Chains A and B, each alone.
Chain A
Amino acid sequence: KAGVTQTPRYLIKTRGQQVTLSCSPISGHRSVSWYQQTPGQGLQFLFEYFSETQRNKGNFPGRFSGRQFSNSRSEMNVSTLELGDSALYLCASSLGGEGQTHEQYFGPGTRLTVT
């Protein structure tokens, strides 16, 4: 079974631009979570989607948004990029349903550099 995939793996953008990152979960997994990882702040939760609905959101500004499609693939968007948005963006998938196991598996991440 293929793991979580994320595209692109590396991205360089300029301040003020916007970016869209993509995540394909493990087959059968319906929950997708997004995290930002930086050396200073560690791993921080952005949001979680299940069956195209956002169930939880972290403490990030509205410039960070996401969505999930009917095939469980997810995208996150960051608008008006700032230098501080440079980070590794990680996506994780799990079965996510009530009564199902909660094991969460991560993709390799997208390394975003904002210049």
Chain B
Amino acid sequence: GESVGLHLPTLSVQEGDNSIINCAYSNSASDYFIWYKQESGKGPQFIIDIRSNMDKRQGQRVTVLLNKTVKHLSLQIAATQPGDSAVYFCAERMKGTYKYIFGTGTRLKVLA
């Protein structure tokens, strides 16, 4: 069953194109960030993380960019596939805590 917002911003991308999903985080003292993917009826799935002492990290087909000056995080997905269709969340961890704050999420739709 659905478990995410009904009025999320939506990004529609043609299959094979690159996707860029953006996130503005709230706390300048946050020291660790994670991107999650959530498919309908499932829990969030870890994609990639980055610490605040880095500005870029690459995984398989994914890249996360961190701009601490403007408190902005982005997730780049290369060669987007139909299986990438999901809701994507960024999460920030407040420094000195084990508490994560999640963004509102972006729905990614991959067009065939």
Q: Mark A72-112, 1 if CB is under 8 A from B, else 0.
A: 00000000000000001010100010000011111111010
Cβ contact within 8 Å between B3 and A109: yes
62-112 of chain B: CB within 8 A of chain A: 89, 91, 93, 97-105
Given contacts A42-B5, A42-B102, A111-B1, contact A56 B97 (CB under 8 A): yes
Note all chain A residues with C-beta closer than 8 A to B32: 102
Nearest chain A CB to B86 CB, angstrom units: 13
B98 touches A48 (CB 8 A): yes
11 A-B pairs with CB atoms under 8 Å apart are: A35-B102, A39-B2, A42-B103, A56-B99, A88-B3, A90-B44, A102-B93, A103-B34, A104-B91, A109-B3, A111-B1
**Docked-complex contact A39 and B100, CB < 8 angstroms:** no
- List of B residues within 8 angstroms of A107 by Cβ: 43
Q: Which residues of B contact A (CB under 8 A)?
A: 1-6, 32, 34, 36, 41-46, 49, 89, 91, 93, 97-105
Note all chain B residues with C-beta closer than 8 A to A31.
98
Measured as residues with beta carbon below 8 angstroms from the partner, the interface class of chain A is: 20 to 34
Q: Evaluate contact between A108 and B100: CB separation under 8 angstroms.
A: no
Interface: A22 (CB within 8 A): no
Q: Nearest-CB distance from A90 to chain B (Å)? A: 5
**Which B residues lie within 8 Å of A48 (CB)?**
98-99
Q: Which 5 A-B pairs have the closest CB atoms?
A: A106-B43, A43-B102, A56-B99, A88-B3, A48-B98
Of residues 12 through 70 on chain A, the ones whose CB sits less than 8 Å from some CB of chain B are 31, 33, 35, 37, 39-40, 42-45, 48, 50, 55-56, 58
